[in-house]
Every structure is written in structure tokens, then in C-alpha cells.
Copies of this chain bind each other. A is one copy, B any other.
Amino acid sequence: MFAKFSFTVRACGVAGCVAGAAAAVAGWTSAEQNNHVMLASSAYMAQQITPNISLDSSAGDMRHRMEGLILRTQKDLCDALSKIDGKEFRVDRWLRPNEGGGGISCVLQDGKVFEKAGVNISVVKGVLPPEAVKQMRARGHSALKEGESLPFFACGVSSVIHPRNPFVPTLHFNYRYFEVISDNQRIWWFGGGTDLTPYYLDETDAKHFHSTLEKACRPHNPSFYQRFKKTCDNYFVIKFRGERRGVGGIFFDDMDQPSADACYQFVDSCAKSVIPSYIPIVKRHYRDPYTDRHRQWQLLRRGRYVEFNLVYDRGTKFGFNTPGARIESILMSLPLEARWEYMHEPEPNSPEGKMMAVLKNPRDWI
């Protein structure tokens, strides 16, 4: 079963680790169970979640095609980040023994270049409570039957990269596929996006980032970039402060047109644009000299990042309300350190103030 993988065995060392229980489900050997082993493969960061399926990208069940896409995206990004940092990712493969499915959480913490970088994938099945169905209906999925619990499948890749140097922006992206079964019908959609959170404004970076995304969007629909750029600006808002968390990017949800294959191709382009949109920015700035002033500002903005993720982020909230969700994977998005100073307000003409101006009034970058 594991013949094509070369394994790295890691001790989990965590009381709540589900690897033991999960191993039974996955059919691992008992020696591996006893060691709470974590597995890493050469093709992916760990063994795929759904056993015995082909992860061919070109055809077949969309669930399997997407599992392949998210595994490849995770592997490519982890490799790219490790190469820059010099430190390897910790890999935790976990399964949900009762609810079905699982995931692979890859975290590089306290590296030279990356203070905390998380790249997760998950492939989960479960039952949506009527309240969640109601919210999805309100977003336009009117084919979902009201007032009932409905079986769902979801898989996605989700990542937040918090670099150490305050001149390297934080990156977030997430690409996902969702299915709900209602009246024996399969209702499906894709969602996702990539967005950048700089601490200091570098217009060259912002332009490079946005134009890479625009190029990924263009072949699929000439209006996508502009539409999803606007959606992104409107989504990543800390409403009670009247400010965005960064310079945006693209964000879309509930995409089910014109066909599943076309949507998949679009998501594939987006996922493939992550590395070229971000890695050149990291390389340009990770050796920039900085002082305690820059670090303090970065920590304050990381506090804002925490505010957005805990108060507004839909994925995080969905995780909080999902029984058996792996909370450490959900909250790997939080920075290693953050700071809150009462009534901190940068001078309008300072570099920090110039960043704030863009967070209050988003700009066009192309």
C-alpha cells in the first residue's frame, strides 16, 4: 500500500493527536499506530487522504481531481518555502475517525525567513446542520432543501505565510471545492482566492502580485480579475475599524458556471499562480534591514490579522462550528506573535501612515 512513498516518521507528542484512532480507519499497521506516526511522501507532503483513488487531474470524479490539485499545490509551495528558509515543514497527517475524511497540516515555525508558515489541505465529509444550509441558501444555493441536515463533502488547500522580516508581506490563499447532496442531487461549487498583507507599502510588489493574479484569471474570463478583486477588497475588511487587512488580491465563492471542468481549470490556474505571485516578493525583501520600529508595527498589524481571522473569516467560523474539526490546523493562520496598543495611530505621512491610507481606501494596482 505504501510502496511508492518514502516515509519520514515523526512523533506527534500531542495528547489530542487523532493519528492513533485514525490509523485504524486508514488500515495502518499497529506499530505505526503505537508510535502516532506522521507520514511524508516524496510525491506529496504525506499520503493522500482518500485511499486507492487516482489523483489524475484531467478527468474523473471532481472530488478526486481536487484532492490531487490541493496535494500538488501544498507540496510545491512547501518545497519553495523550505528552500528559501532552510528549515523543513513539520507534517501532521490527521483523519477524523467518526466524521470521515482528514487532512495534512504542514507548518514551518520559527524559521530564519518565515516566522510561521502553514499550508494545510483537508478532505472532509459530514452533515451540514439546517442553520448552515440556511446560510448557503441565503448566498444563492436555492436548490438546497431548507430545514434539513444535508450530507456534504469539502476539500481545499489553505495557507497563511507570516514572514519574519517586516518588509515581506504576509500571504494567504485558499482554494476549495464543496458538494452538498440534497434530494439525491449533487449541488457543487468552487471558491477561493489569494490576498497579500504587507506591513509597509511597496507599490512594485503590489503591482507584481495583482498582475500575476490578473494573468491567471484572464484566459478563463476577461471580467474575472476585476470582479474578484472587488470582492476581495470587500471581504477582507475589519468592519469595526473601517480598514482592510491588506492590499487584497482576488476572492470568489459559489462558482458553479459554466461547467465543473471550466471551474476546475480556473482554480488550477489560480493555485498555480501562488508561487509566481509571492515568492519573488519574498526573495526581494527577506534580507532588507529593519529596526525595532518596523518590528513593532508589524506586530500591531498582526494583531489586526488576528482580529479579522477570529471575528470575520468565514472559513475559520465554519471550522469553529464543525464537530471534530482540527482546531490547531484552523488556527495555524494566527501569527506567532501579535500586539495590541491602546489608541495607536501612526502619523499620516510616515511609512506606517501611508500603509494605513491604502488599507482605508483600496487602490487599483493594474
Contact = CB atoms under 8 A, between A and B. Distances in A.
Interface stretch (A75-83, A164-172, A337-345): A337-345
B240 A342 contact: no
B343 A328 contact: yes
A92 interface: yes
B118 A342 contact: yes
A143 interface: no
A334 B319 CA distance: 23
Contacts of A328: 342-343
A136 to B, nearest CB: 20
Given A14-B345, A240-B320, A325-B240, A336 B337 contact: no
Given A109-B341, A334-B340, A320 B310 contact: no
A304 to B, nearest CB: 10
6 contacts: A13-B345, A14-B345, A92-B343, A241-B327, A303-B334, A336-B339
How many monomers of this protein are in the complex?
A: 2
A335 interface: yes
A contact face: mostly helix, strand, loop, or mixed: mixed
A230 interface: no
Interface in A303-340: 303, 306-307, 310-311, 319-320, 325, 327-328, 331-332, 334-340
A266 B61 CA distance: 65
Which one of A306, A331, A342 has the highest number of Cβ atoms from chain B below 10 Å of its Cβ?
A: A342
A241 B327 CA distance: 7
Interface string A226-253: 0000000000000111000000000000
A15 interface: yes
B337 A342 contact: no
Nearest to A306: B306
Interface string A111-141: 0000010100000000000000000000000
A37 interface: no
**Which 4 pairs between the two chains have the least Cβ-Cβ distance?**
A310-B310, A334-B340, A107-B342, A240-B320
A335 B331 contact: no
A228 to B, nearest CB: 27
A299 interface: yes
Interface in A1-57: 13-16
Interface in A96-114: 107, 109
Given A306-B306, A310-B306, A116 B342 contact: yes
Contacts of A335: 340
Contacts of A331: 307, 340
A297 to B, nearest CB: 14
A277 to B, nearest CB: 25
A145 interface: no
A120 B271 CA distance: 47
A90 interface: yes
